[in-house]
Amino acid sequence: MLDVRIEKGLVAEVRSSLPENGATVVDCTGLVVAPALVDLHTHLREPGREDAETIESGSRAGALGGYGALCAMANTTPVADSAAVVEQVFNIGRAVGLVDVFPVGAITVDLEGEKLAEIGEMHASKAQVNFFSDDGKCVQDSGLMRRALEYAKAFDAIIANHAEDRGLAEGGSMNEGEVSGILGIPGVPDEAEELIIARDLALTKLTGSRLHVPHVSTAGSVELIRVAKRAGVRVTAEVTPHHLSLTDTLVASFDPVFKVAPPLRTRADIEVLSAGLADGTIDCVATDHAPHAQEDKEKEFDKAPPGMLGLETALAVLITELVVPGRLTVSELVDRMSTAPARIRGLDGHGGPVAAGAPGTLVVFDLEARWVVEPARLASLSDNTPFAGRELQGKVVHTMLRGKFTVRDGEVVHGQG
């Protein structure tokens, strides 16, 4: 067991039996101290849908979930497709100060897939955007996708394309398979995702650019990414906690909380996704935290918008589903939720290691604590969690951002050293 001394926002020392010397002592006996988590895929809804989430409420949820950095997706109103909007998101995030908010810029104007957005201006802005996505919509035009990759290559930025072939996915609300056939709900086949990933991998190889594949959901997609990595294609990938833990059988309840894009797949897909995360084919876990106002989400299944909450449950879901059964070690968990996403996005000051000289941006969690998810107790303004009522193992105790507690003893705080 080691002691960690934090001074002036930095980790000053890490060794056994450090003298107190008047310092404030926080007893973390039996707890895991790790670099704070980093989420590459968060929907904060501000500007435009502050009834569903704000940057402040999303930051609170992130801090409670152990996060030190959130990458805010561009599908806001207005869309984050200009320097003005990404700077607005960046500035509000800094003013809130609970997590570092890094805006994601749109690939195309208004997410319409017709004309490239102001990628260069967003990169040159105060927000220094280097990650671009139309998430929620797929760039269908192959020529436009090629130009986006080529343009982003000029400053080594990353293009993250929502992989969904429009023609194959049209009208689908869940995974296409045995369950959709029984329920009579139109489905989205695996191939809707895999065709776009295959195309984007080919274009990435052609251009020598960087591609990030968000929310991988099928076994076939994992194999495509594995083959491309072996061939030297500059691709990284993420998987969500819900695609690692929930199957399409849950849709039999017709509860829209289980509607997500891409849809929940099968147990066989979960097995391959978990193995891909363990062996590094899939680089990291991202939440795809997608809050929706109650009046929007509580519609008939086919009419409800896709999306689930994720920030406050992600760590516990991964501990429960992967660490406890022995499919992922704690070190691998920390890598996939902190070190790897920080490395992909190039976020200095995030992702560890916990060593002298590193920023004091840390999470402290209890591997053994068990708790029941109660939507009313979550910090998000929305309550569309698929884990409501479920007992999970693993709980965040403290979160620190540059040496200041943002969460202490499970409660959000501001500015405490």
Distance CA 126, CA 348 (A): 16
CB 109 within 8 A of CB 115: yes
Which amino acid is present at 110? D
Give how far Cα 406 sits from Cα of 140, 195, 250, 398, 413, Å. Answer: 41, 42, 35, 8, 5
Q: Residue 195 in contact with residue 168, Cβ under 8 Å?
A: yes
Question: Widest CA span of the chain, in angstroms?
Answer: 68
CB neighbour list of residue 130: distance below 8 Å, 6 or more residues apart: 123, 155, 156, 157, 158, 345, 346
Burial class (CB in 10 A: 0-12, 13-18, 19+), 91: middle
Nearest CA to 246 among 175, 302, 298? 175
Q: How far apart (Å, rounded) are the C-alpha atoms in residues 129 and 345?
A: 10
Which residues make Cβ contacts (< 8 Å) with residue 230, sequence separation at least 6?
Answer: none
Q: Kindly name the residue from 283, 288, 335, 383 that is annotated as catalytic.
A: 288
Residue 395's identity, in one-letter code, is K
Is 288 tagged catalytic? yes
> What is the set of active-site residues?
288
